[in-house]
Amino acid sequence: MTRRYSALSLLREGVNGQRGWEPAWRSPEPKARYDAIVIGGGGHGLATAYYLAKNHGITNVALVERGWIGGGNTGRNTTVIRSNYFFPASAAFYDFSVELYEGLSKELNYNIMFSQRGMWTLAHDRHGLEMARRSANAMLLNGVDAEFHDGPSVRTRIPGLNPDPRFPILGGIKQPRGGTARHDAVAWGYARAASALGVDIIQNCEVLDFVIEGGRVRGVETSLGAMRSDCVGMAVAGHSSVIAAKAGLRLPVSSYALQAFVSEPVKPCLDTVILSPATGTYLSQSDKGELVIGAGLDLYLSYAQRGNLPWMERAAAGVVELFPQFSRLRFLRQWAGIVDVVHDSTPILGLTAVDGLFINCGWGTGGFKSIPAGGWCLAHAMATGQSHPLARAFDIERFETGALIDEASASGIAH
């Protein structure tokens, strides 16, 4: 049984020389057969494995990860959590995710450091201002918290903002419940809780192919041998189209590199998350003091997990435009992840044309915030064979029916 983390256990280990801690999750040898197999040890895969066990009592589950858990986009993202969407289906889904995040540290007995410091989207021109008003109204109508602020109000609430930037700040929307969480902790917390419920977490194990018999999935071939199961879920982000092709599925997913940067750490100076569409930059400050800076997608498709100078220059220019005083900071690190972009900016979640094979992908630049809800809904689909009501609109069938949910056009949010 996994030991509970508590102030008392910390104290006890403190006086006992920290010798009593156990590994946070088990690393068992793979079994020949499972009731369910989840491919991909990012946040979505780990959350799926956890909710299969927790919500549906399916504990004979393998979580198969080709590298180390959280080593994909989950451990590479800028950790912004929000639900500022336009369409009712998106708002309901992403807000459910924020709600799950609000209780996650307690539920997993693992501090995910969720800090609801608020998320701002600035408006830099009259069209942006109109869009901000429209988005705030849509969010309120959808039951999501939103505040509209004019320029002077934004400036009093974000001290240090450049009073005279090249792109004037005419206003902005704030989602007070938005914020950030510690990405590794989300992966590790789900892994630990899933393992405690009986899930086998198998790292360094690549899925090479599917076993499909009579149009139905019967298992996977992996670098550690075959594993049989009539129920397989995949949550492999930027590699979704590559893996799905092995089951004969063609996905409307394109893979791009998305980069992020951190500065050297400084004392606390920014207590919120700011997105500035005109400069193409967003930033927050981590608990370690680093400015965490994100930018846009590369303009070309790629599976190379590395960044490049043009985006670094653009991100730095955007940050200095907003906060000239940060111009003296140095970049400490830069990295990239491969994100799975769907052209209507909405995920694909649920059943596929292959019986027993389920999918969770298309999160693009914004799937960290949806990890709890994405895992919840994929687990529901795998356990019941039905799409979860919150994810029904995200079914892949929408590319046949034409019922697309174009958030990029509606809310200006790519994902």
Decide if 195 contacts 57 (C-beta within 8 A).
no
Q: Is 190 in the site for ligand FAD (CB under 6 A)?
A: no
Q: Is 115 in the site for ligand FAD (CB under 6 A)?
A: no
Amino acid, single-letter form, for residue 183: H
* Interface positions, 197-226, toward ligand FAD (CB under 6 A): 206-207
Amino acid, single-letter form, for residue 390: L
Q: Is 41 in the site for ligand FAD (CB under 6 A)?
A: yes
**Tokens 């799937």 sit at which residue?**
367
Q: Is 73 in the site for ligand FAD (CB under 6 A)?
A: yes
In the set 179, 189, 294, 372, which binds ligand FAD (CB under 6 A)?
A: 294
**Residue in 285, 350, 269, 280 with CA at minimum distance from that of residue 315:** 280
Name which of 129 and 202 has its Cβ closer to ligand FAD: 202
Q: Is 66 in the site for ligand FAD (CB under 6 A)?
A: yes
Decide if 104 contacts 372 (C-beta within 8 A).
yes
Q: Is 192 in the site for ligand FAD (CB under 6 A)?
A: no
Phi first, then psi: give them for residue 398, nearest 5 degrees: -60, -20
Name which of 300 and 401 has its Cβ closer to ligand FAD: 300
**Residue in 402, 379, 410 with CA at minimum distance from that of residue 63:** 379
Name which of 153 and 302 has its Cβ closer to ligand FAD: 302
Q: Give the count of beta carbons closer than 10 Å to the beta carbon of residue 415.
A: 23
Name which of 168 and 296 has its Cβ closer to ligand FAD: 296
**Tokens 């397989």 sit at which residue?**
232
Amino acid, single-letter form, for residue 253: V
Interacting span for ligand FAD (CB under 6 A) from 193-201, 351-359, 362-370, 405-413: 362-370
**390: number of CA atoms within 13 Å, CB side?**
18
Name which of 135 and 259 has its Cβ closer to ligand FAD: 259
Name which of 307 and 356 has its Cβ closer to ligand FAD: 307
Query: How far apart (Å, rounded) are the C-alpha atoms in residues 127 and 133?
Result: 10
Q: Is 74 in the site for ligand FAD (CB under 6 A)?
A: yes
In the set 100, 194, 236, 320, which binds ligand FAD (CB under 6 A)?
A: 236
Alpha carbon separation from 206 to 94, 224, 333 (Å, rounded):
30, 8, 28
Q: Is 43 in the site for ligand FAD (CB under 6 A)?
A: yes
In the set 36, 37, 38, 44, which binds ligand FAD (CB under 6 A)?
A: 44
Interacting span for ligand FAD (CB under 6 A) from 70-78, 150-158, 161-169, 398-406: 70-78
Size of the site for ligand FAD (CB under 6 A): 39
Interacting span for ligand FAD (CB under 6 A) from 1-9, 39-47, 140-148, 188-196: 39-47
Interacting span for ligand FAD (CB under 6 A) from 75-83, 86-94, 119-127, 161-169: 75-83
Q: Is 118 in the site for ligand FAD (CB under 6 A)?
A: no
- What single DSSP character describes residue 327? G
Query: How far apart (Å, rounded) are the C-alpha atoms in residues 280 and 271?
Result: 20
**Residue in 170, 118, 409, 407 with CA at minimum distance from that of residue 278:** 170
Say if residue 328 is exposed, middle or buried (CB neighbours under 10 Å; 0-12, 13-18, 19+). Answer: exposed
**Which two structure tokens, joined as six digits, stand for 229?**
């199961």
Judged by the rule CB under 6 A, the positions of this chain that interact with ligand FAD are 39-45, 64-67, 71-74, 76-80, 206-207, 235-237, 239, 243, 258-260, 294, 337, 339, 363, 365-369
